[in-house]
């Protein structure tokens, strides 16, 4: 699996498996896509890092799905903190997200999730189009990172041992880069064996988790280190299979036609109250920071 001759690529997903150890995973890099999403609103730097982490989590989980197999949504609703709403979603490589926050509430690096959000919860929803299945998990907003909260939820609620590492680097002047790795135990039923439950000790999973756990934020955000090179660094003694995934792109799906269709579902009396003196209804899309003036 030596990655000779393979150059780093920004805005990329790479799936991988370590079949002998019963593990699978994803590596995701966000560059231009991340900066396009962040540019929609003037976020303070601590919230930039938080939104970048949330977008990375969404992309890591979303990239594990087949290309056209549905949508992953990560959303946090809260009261009493600087953040009122955080929303991100992924569909077929299209990624979007935003944070609604109170600019009058000061934020700083190192704040815990309860300090940023107050009282609230994080919900992750997976809609699988092919099977028409939908599941949702509710994660307490505890600790210092969304990744740690979601990692614990996978292990405890889904009985799926999971490891996540995320890095965010950059500045307003240079731009932002985010990288992440997700590694999960591959249910042995998928390869003809038993499933490993959360908390159960198994040498194969312990081995993979120990290696993947050495991944640093600096490695994940090293523009000169390709995903293949990182996998080689972690698992050079293992047989690893890689599968390139969809290229992440900024994917706000708002359009005048779609918004008009939604508005026409409202009764005329309600639409009349929405219209301005020109007969137009203004709709603000928070994902792309655009205002649509719709005749409906």
Q: Would 60 be classed as within a structural domain? A: yes
Residues 181 and 59 occupy one common structural domain: yes
Q: What is the pLDDT of residue 196?
A: 52
Q: What is the pLDDT of residue 274?
A: 86
Residues 226 and 164 occupy one common structural domain: yes
Helix H, strand E, coil C: the string for the chain is: CCCCCCCCCCCEEEEEEEHHHCEEEEEEEECHHHHHHHCCCCCCHHHHHHHHHHHHHHHHHHCCCCCCCEEEEEEEEEEECCEEEEEEEEECCEEEEEEEECCCCCCCCCCCHHHHHEEEEEEEEEEECCCCEEEEEEEECCCCCHHHHHHHHHHHCCCCCEEEEEEEEEECCCEEEEEEEEEEECCHHHHCCCCCCCCCCCHHHHHHHHHHCCCCHHHHCCCCCCHHHHHHHHHCCCCCEEEECCCCEECCCCCHHHHHHHHCCCCHHHHHHHCCCCCCEEEEECCCCEEEEECC
Range of the domain at 96: 12-250
Q: Which residues of the chain have pLDDT under 70?
A: 1-9, 67-69, 129-132, 157-158, 187-201, 289
Residues 190 and 213 occupy one common structural domain: yes
Please state the pTM of the whole predicted model.
0.85
Q: What is the pLDDT of residue 3?
A: 41
Residues 280 and 207 occupy one common structural domain: no
Residues 39 and 80 occupy one common structural domain: yes
Q: What is the pLDDT of residue 222?
A: 94
Residues 51 and 170 occupy one common structural domain: yes
Number of domains in the chain: 2
Q: What is the pLDDT of residue 278?
A: 83
Residues 150 and 277 occupy one common structural domain: no
Q: What is the pLDDT of residue 277?
A: 85
Q: What is the pLDDT of residue 7?
A: 47
| CATH for 70 | 3.55.30.10
């Amino acid at each position: 699996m030596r990655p000779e001759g393979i150059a780093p690529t920004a805005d990329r997903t790479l799936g991988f498996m370590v079949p002998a150890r019963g593990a699978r995973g994803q590596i995701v890099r966000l560059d231009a896509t991340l900066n396009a999403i962040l540019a929609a609103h003037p976020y303070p730097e601590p919230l930039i890092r938080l939104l970048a982490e949330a977008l990375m989590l969404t992309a890591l989980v979303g990239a594990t799905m087949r290309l056209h197999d549905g949508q992953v949504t990560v959303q946090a609703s809260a009261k009493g903190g600087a953040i009122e709403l955080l929303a991100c979603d992924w569909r077929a490589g299209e990624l979007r997200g935003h944070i609604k926050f109170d600019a009058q509430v000061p934020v700083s690096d190192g704040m815990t999730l309860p300090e940023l959000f107050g009282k609230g919860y994080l919900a992750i929803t997976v809609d699988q189009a092919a099977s028409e299945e939908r599941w949702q998990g509710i994660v307490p907003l505890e600790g210092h990172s969304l990744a740690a909260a979601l990692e614990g939820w996978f292990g405890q609620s889904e009985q799926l041992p999971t490891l996540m590492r995320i890095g965010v680097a950059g500045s307003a002047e240079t731009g932002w880069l985010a990288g992440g790795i997700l590694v999960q135990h591959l249910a042995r039923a998928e390869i003809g064996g038993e499933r490993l439950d959360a908390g159960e000790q198994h040498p194969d999973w312990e081995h993979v988790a120990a290696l993947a756990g050495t991944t640093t934020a600096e490695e994940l955000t090293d523009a000169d280190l390709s995903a293949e090179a990182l996998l080689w660094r972690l698992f050079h003694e293992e047989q690893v299979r890689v599968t390139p995934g969809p290229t992440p792109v900024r994917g706000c799906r708002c359009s005048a036609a779609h918004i008009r269709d939604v508005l026409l579902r409202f009764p005329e009396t309600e639409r009349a109250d929405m219209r301005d003196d020109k007969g137009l209804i203004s709709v603000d899309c928070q994902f792309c920071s655009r205002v649509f003036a719709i005749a409906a």
